[in-house]
């Protein structure tokens, strides 16, 4: 049936969905139906005759992409696989698989994850003969962050070290040399790390006129979600892709720009009207999430920021309670208050999974974790190892990566290390011998070659060669899921039993991995998607977690995009939020104020602002704490103050 846009959308959303083409900036406030607006806009474009394959919808998380594309399919009835939809990195991979040859890459390039980057950088450091202990040289993971920030912000490496890592200034020459070696080595091994995917996409569009012409002509409409989180690379890519038809619609909320530490450039959304003087600017200010009282506090909390688009969230809901301000004597009583109030809320019928406690830094939750444990209140901390980063999953996928790209150094070294008498030194030596061979897979399957390269490790390496021979024989006829089961049956099941006490659970993980892989037509597509999932943002990982009957403990950064009936913000004290060290950064205070705003707008029904009045500092004893400046900036009628005697009530009740 035809879509009734006027019925399904509010007037603000309807104006965006039905607008004519050209550059558009949509300032979408928290809880204002941003996803609905984007999906209806795509459906409208299709209704009006735009071929789906000529629409690009860029998101920041796989979860957001699935949700939006699923809604578009329900609305329009169109097979959404025809759209160019997904994360920036997913779309970059799609482009570079076709066009990467222009930059000197083979179609079968490997996508490196964080561990691969660390491993390869450590190899570069070792080969350069740098004494890492003498000069406290940064390890591979730290160096990877430095290089990644440089790439994503389009900032010279020298400036990044000077501004963000000044303690490495005396090592700058070596750092630059290692970065150069790392870049050259990736290219020679037909590998890209996650940052390369965006950098290479941009290089392709800037330096290959035919590629730019093809894609700029192809995309009639480009729609971008969470534009306030884009970095300089992403903004430049979008400008180039939209340069032909100029139908670029970016949606975001400047008030929720909180990821500068990852390289997000706040200027992208703030200066969009300057870059596109003819851009139409829309505002979505109708909030469907929170009570009027919570929105009143949130609106007041952000007004002191100078760099912003002025807007005021308006509540659809009626009634509600004022947010509650709860200063308590110390951190122990803060934890006691939160835990006791959670117990009361559960008794009142609030589902436990609808309660969240937010904080600026992870260590702020320590006392609360202990208190919740003591009281037997189940909780989930939104952190930890992702499924695709677990050791046994990476072991199995490394075998598969070697099959697709026999020059994948990181995968080879991980696989080699699984066999007896193959330590890091032996693995490095065997890898270098393999890399010198025309066909590494053929070499490892030759028992005579193996014995020449690694005499002591030969038995294990021969077993590896036999396994890879079997995989190579089966790769053409069997799906990725069959290859995973083959590896389990070729000895990895026994390896799990020897190495882990929870071997059965880990085997079930691998069976689920095999089930996941069955949706892919071939091994290359499966591994590409796996790498993209492994590199998902911290925010997505928290949002994708299954809803359980547990209180959620989360940093504010991880809570963005989520909502709960009841939210406690703890440690609302000066120096904690805003975090003292963040105030030393350019624009730090305004970003910290946006963080506070994001935290308050996660609450639907009840909001509590808590902090201790004193803290213990080593060497200074008991230190008095002021309320956060973000609380002091609010007029007293913005919240309901809880008097300190309430603490005594907690103690008496306990």
pLDDT grade, residue 542 (50/70/90)?
very low
Q: What pLDDT is attached to residue 481?
A: 87
Q: In 43-179, at which residue ranges do the beta strands (DSSP E only) sit?
A: 55-59, 84-87, 110-111
Backbone region of residue 517 per phi and psi (left: phi > 0; alpha: psi in -120 to 50; beta: other values): alpha
Q: What is the pLDDT of residue 131?
A: 78
Q: Is the peptide bond before 578 cis (omega within 30 degrees of 0)?
A: yes
**Residue 256's pLDDT is what?**
96
In this predicted structure, what is the pLDDT of residue 185? 96
Contacts of 484 (CB under 8 A, 6+ apart): 396, 400, 510, 513, 514, 517
Q: Helix (H, G, I), strand (E, B), or coil: what is residue 233?
A: helix
Distance CA 106, CA 297 (A): 54
Query: Would you state the pLDDT for residue 649?
Result: 38
The fraction of the chain above a pLDDT of 70, given in percent, is 93
- Whether the CB-CB separation of 426 and 454 falls below 8 Å is answered with yes
H/E stretch holding 624 reads: strand 621-624
The Cα 614–Cα 43 span in angstroms is 55
Q: What mean pLDDT comes out for the span 159-184?
A: 92
Rounded CA separation 322/94 (Å): 49
Report the alpha-carbon distance of residue 316 to residue 540 in Å, rounded. Answer: 28
Say what the pLDDT of residue 615 is: 81
Look at residue 327 and tell me whether its pLDDT is greater than 70.
Answer: yes
Q: What is the pLDDT of residue 510?
A: 87
pLDDT digits over 7-39, tens only?
999 999 999 999 999 999 999 999 999 999 999
SS3 501: coil
Q: Which pLDDT belongs to residue 297?
A: 97
493-528 confidence digits (pLDDT tens): 888 877 776 777 788 878 878 877 877 878 988 888
CA dihedral sign, ordered 287, 288, 293, 298: negative
| Alpha-carbon gap, residue 532 to 534, rounded angstroms | 5
| Contacts of 9 by beta carbon, 8 Å cutoff, 6+ apart | 17, 36, 37, 40
CA–CA gap between residue 428 and residue 416 (Å, rounded): 9
321-341 average pLDDT score: 93
Q: Which of the 8 DSSP states describes residue 189?
A: T
> How far, in Å, CA of 603 to CA of 321, rounded?
12
The H helix count followed by the E strand count for the chain is 32, 19
Residues 350-371 have pLDDT tens digits of: 999 999 999 998 778 878 887 8
Give the active site residues. 34-35, 225-226, 256, 602
128 SS3 class:
coil
**pLDDT confidence band for 618 (50 / 70 / 90):** very low
What is the H or E stretch that residue 564 is in? strand 564-569
Exposure string over 295-322, b if 16+ CB within 10 A, otherwise e: bbbbbbbbeebeebbebebebebeebeb
Residue with the larger pLDDT of the pair 491 and 290: 290
Question: What mean pLDDT comes out for the span 240-266?
Answer: 95
Cα distance between residue 190 and residue 111, in whole Å: 9
Q: Are 356 and 377 in contact (CB under 8 A)?
A: no
pLDDT tens, position by position, 264-309: 999 999 999 999 999 999 999 999 999 999 999 999 999 999 999 9
For 95-185, where are the E strands, in sequence order? 110-111
What SS3 class is residue 452?
helix
Average pLDDT of the chain, as a whole number: 89
Strands 603-612 and 564-569: parallel
Give the percent of the chain with pLDDT over 90. Answer: 70
Instruction: Return the minimum-mean-pLDDT range out of 66-80, 160-174, 253-267, 517-531.
Output: 517-531
Q: Which residues contact 212 (CB under 8 A, 6 or more apart)?
A: 204, 205, 206, 240, 243
Answer for the pair 29, 283: CB distance below 8 angstroms, yes or no. Answer: yes
């Amino acid at each position: 049936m035809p879509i009734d846009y006027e019925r399904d959308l509010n007037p603000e959303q309807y104006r965006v969905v039905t607008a004519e083409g050209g550059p558009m900036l949509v300032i979408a406030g928290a809880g204002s139906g941003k996803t609905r607006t984007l999906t209806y806009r795509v459906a409208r474009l299709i209704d009006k005759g735009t071929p789906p394959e000529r629409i690009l919808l860029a998101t920041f998380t796989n979860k957001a992409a699935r949700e939006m594309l699923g809604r578009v399919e329900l609305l329009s009835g169109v097979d959404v696989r025809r759209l160019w939809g997904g994360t920036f990195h997913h779309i970059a991979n799609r482009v570079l698989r076709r066009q990467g040859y222009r930059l000197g890459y083979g179609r079968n390039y490997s996508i490196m994850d964080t561990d691969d980057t660390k491993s390869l950088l450590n190899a570069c450091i070792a080969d350069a003969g740098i004494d890492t202990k003498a000069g406290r040289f940064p390890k591979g993971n730290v160096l990877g962050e430095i290089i990644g920030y440089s790439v994503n912000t389009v900032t010279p490496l020298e400036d990044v070290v000077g501004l963000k890592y000044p303690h490495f200034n005396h090592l700058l020459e070596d750092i630059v040399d290692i970065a150069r070696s790392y870049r050259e080595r990736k290219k020679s091994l037909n590998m890209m790390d996650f940052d390369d995917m965006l950098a290479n996409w941009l290089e392709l569009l800037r330096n290959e006129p035919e590629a730019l012409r093809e894609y700029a002509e192809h995309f009639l409409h480009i729609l971008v979600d969470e534009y306030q989180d884009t970095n300089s690379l992403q903004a430049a890519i979008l400008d180039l892709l939209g340069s032909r038809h100029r139908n670029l619609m970016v949606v975001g909320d400047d008030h929720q720009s909180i990821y500068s530490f990852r390289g997000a450039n706040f200027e992208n959304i703030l200066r969009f009207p300057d870059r596109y003087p003819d851009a139409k600017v829309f505002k979505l200010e109708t909030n469907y999430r929170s009570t009027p009282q919570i929105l009143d506090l949130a609106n007041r909390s952000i007004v002191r920021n100078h760099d912003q688009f002025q807007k005021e969230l308006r509540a659809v809901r009626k009634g509600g309670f004022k947010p509650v301000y709860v200063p308590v004597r110390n951190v122990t009583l803060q934890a006691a208050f939160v835990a006791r109030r959670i117990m009361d809320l559960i008794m009142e019928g609030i589902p436990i999974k609808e309660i969240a406690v937010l904080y600026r830094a992870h260590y702020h939750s320590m006392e609360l974790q202990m208190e919740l444990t003591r009281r037997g209140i189940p909780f989930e901390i939104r952190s930890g190892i992702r499924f695709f980063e677990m050791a046994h999953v990476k072991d199995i996928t490394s075998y598969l990566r070697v099959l697709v790209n026999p020059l994948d150094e990181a995968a080879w070294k991980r696989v080699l290390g699984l066999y007896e008498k193959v330590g890091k030194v032996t693995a490095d030596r065997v890898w270098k011998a393999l890399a010198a061979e025309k066909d590494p897979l053929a070499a490892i399957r030759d028992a005579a070659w193996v014995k020449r390269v690694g005499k002591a490790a030969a038995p294990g390496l021969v077993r590896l060669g036999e396994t890879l021979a079997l995989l190579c024989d089966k790769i053409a006829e069997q799906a990725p899921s069959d290859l995973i089961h083959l590896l389990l049956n070729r000895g990895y099941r026994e390896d799990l039993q020897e190495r882990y006490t929870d071997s059965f659970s880990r085997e079930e993980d691998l069976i689920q991995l095999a089930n996941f892989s069955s949706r892919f037509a071939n091994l290359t597509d499966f591994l590409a998607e796996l790498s993209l999932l492994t590199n998902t943002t911290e925010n997505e990982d928290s949002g994708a977690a299954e809803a359980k009957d547990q209180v959620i403990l989360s940093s504010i950064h991880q809570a963005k995009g989520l909502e709960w009936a009841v939210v406690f913000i703890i440690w609302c004290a000066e120096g904690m939020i805003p975090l003292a060290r963040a105030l030393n950064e350019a624009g730090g205070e305004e970003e910290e104020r946006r963080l506070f705003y994001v935290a308050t707008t996660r609450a639907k029904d009840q909001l509590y602002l808590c902090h201790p009045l004193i803290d213990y500092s080593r060497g200074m004893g008991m230190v008095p704490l002021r309320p956060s400046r973000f609380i002091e900036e609010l007029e007293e009628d913005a919240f309901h103050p809880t008097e300190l005697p309430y603490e005594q009530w907690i103690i008496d009740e306990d």
